[in-house]
Structure 1
Amino acid sequence: MTGADDETGLETAAPRYVWLAETLKKRIAAGDPPVGKLLPTEHALCETYNVSRHTAREALRLLAEAGLIVRRRGAGTLVIATESKAAFAQRLGNVDDLMQYARDARLTPESTTMVALESQLARALGVAPGGEYMRVSGLRAVPGEPAIAYTDIYIRADLAPPVEKLVEMNGLIIEWIASVRGVATARVDQAILAGAMTEREAASLGCEAGAAALRTRRRYYDKSGRVIALSDTVHPGNRFVYEMSLLRESEH
């Protein structure tokens, strides 16, 4: 299916939902509607642009992935930016790079609970099941920007901070454990996976469930090889980039 050009009326080769998304991007860039106001409903978009509900929904998905809107169930579609945001770039090289991510992308905790890792989750995180952990769940974001990640952090219970301290930390939990508990991180194992967001993750990040995502799972160890903490973090595919430089070893 093709879409009509919004200025000439000519048919374009792009799928109709792409055409609609581009049309809405132009409107948003022009301040119609302005940041902080709601976009027309899916039904209104269908009526205005003579498109199907599926087309309208897919167009809004593209706008959400571009960081222009946030969709809230029962509350409408809110415009949050007039132009697409550049993806957050994370250097990938050493432990210090990972710590810098925590400093730049601050964590806003949404919930905390004490848990024992059930077998399926433990297997996904690469550790043995059981053990007591404090699970901290919340969003990571650069101040003033849309959230770039939803994360679950599992902190070994004997190292966990007081709940009331979590907000003050801005997500610098590993550094707090080193300075206050005296247990420094000596090694981090990380797995990077491509996948899709769950309904829970998508709702928190203002995306569609099933949208493309980059997931990172990390295990933090002390110098004796004991687990300090674990994390499972999901990033919308268009809001996060890993960067690294590789040097060729000199030939002998």
Structure 2
Amino acid sequence: MRNELKDKPAAAPRYAELASTLVRDIQEGRRVVGSLLPTEPELAGQHGVSRHTVRAALALLQDWGYISRKKAVGTIVASANPDAAYTQSFGTAEDLVRVAATEVRSIGSARRVTLDRADARLLEAPMGSEWLRFSGTRVDARKGNTPVAHAEIYIDAALAHLEQAIRDSPQVLISALIERECGIAIAEIRQVIHGVLIDGDLAQELGTEARTAGLRLIRHYKDAQGKILEITDTIYPADRVTVAFQLRRSRVQP
């Protein structure tokens, strides 16, 4: 991998910046759950933007589950930490990974990289694409930060300015930080699972026996245009993760 990166992060659209500001106000308690947000004209005046910008920002917050909007009532703060819900098309399989809610990131290092042919093939990402790569473990916060899995996390080079926020909030999903800080919705998550053997230094890092069976989970987090914003490459010992498949029949015969 080349360790070169020349691109600078592009400025977020004004409505996305406003959405991020309002999300922070909600998460940090300046807008409490159950309260009404100011009207569109009031928000436009407070933030020096058009009503069109305000409407676009509020539409994002509603899509993310932070607010609800009711006629004759106004815009209500619905949640300070909404759960993201992802659905599937009929006739497809959804891969679900059940992990402990107490798992958090423990980042050992971060560096800017360009994917060579081998890594691009492994990650199913464009060869030559540029990323900020975090290396470390996922740990169980309830058990003295015992390592649960090894993780390599890649974020698009244009999002490298999120590095400090990612380090400061190990318990928050990076996809959620991308949505909050950049106003970009994660529209799709794709997951691929490989069987692996955990050996050598990796086995020692995870506190498991050499040649232990494991699962490698590679996830792509994509925006509405299908662009990959984040890739996670996580290796779990097989006894520390459960994978479930849900299938829905597209048409039930009478």
Name the TM-score class by shorter chain.
Answer: 0.5 to 0.7
Equivalent residue, structure 2, for 1:164: 164
- The answer to whether residue 234 in structure 2 is matched with residue 233 in structure 1 is yes
Equivalent residue, structure 2, for 1:87: none
Distance 1:165 1:196 in 2: 33
Confirm or deny: 8 A CA contact 1:133 1:155 kept in the other structure.
Answer: yes
Higher relative contact order (CA 8 A, sep 6+): 2
Confirm or deny: 8 A CA contact 1:148 1:240 kept in the other structure.
Answer: no
For 1:238, what is the secondary structure of its paired residue? helix
Identity, % of aligned pairs?
30
- The answer to whether residue 193 in structure 2 is matched with residue 192 in structure 1 is yes
Count of matched residue pairs: 160
Distance 2:243 2:163 in 1: 31
Q: 1:185 to 1:156 in 2, by over 3 A?
A: same
Equivalent residue, structure 2, for 1:216: 217
Q: What TM-score, normalized by structure 1, do the two folds share?
A: 0.56
2:133 to 107, 132, 135: 135
Equivalent residue, structure 2, for 1:250: 252
| Per-residue deviation, 1:164 | 3.0
| Per-residue deviation, 1:201 | 2.3
Confirm or deny: 8 A CA contact 2:97 2:241 kept in the other structure.
Answer: no
Confirm or deny: 8 A CA contact 1:107 1:140 kept in the other structure.
Answer: yes
Q: Which runs of 5+ in 2 are unaligned?
A: 1-85, 89-93
Distance 1:138 1:147 in 2: 10
Partner deviation per Cα, 1:132-173 (whole Å, 9 max, x = no partner): 111011211332233221110110011134433323221521
| Per-residue deviation, 1:194 | 0.8
Q: 1:184 to 1:100 in 2, by over 3 A?
A: farther
CA RMSD of aligned residues (A): 2.8
Partner deviation per Cα, 1:1-28 (whole Å, 9 max, x = no partner): xxxxxxxxxxxxxxxxxxxxxxxxxxxx
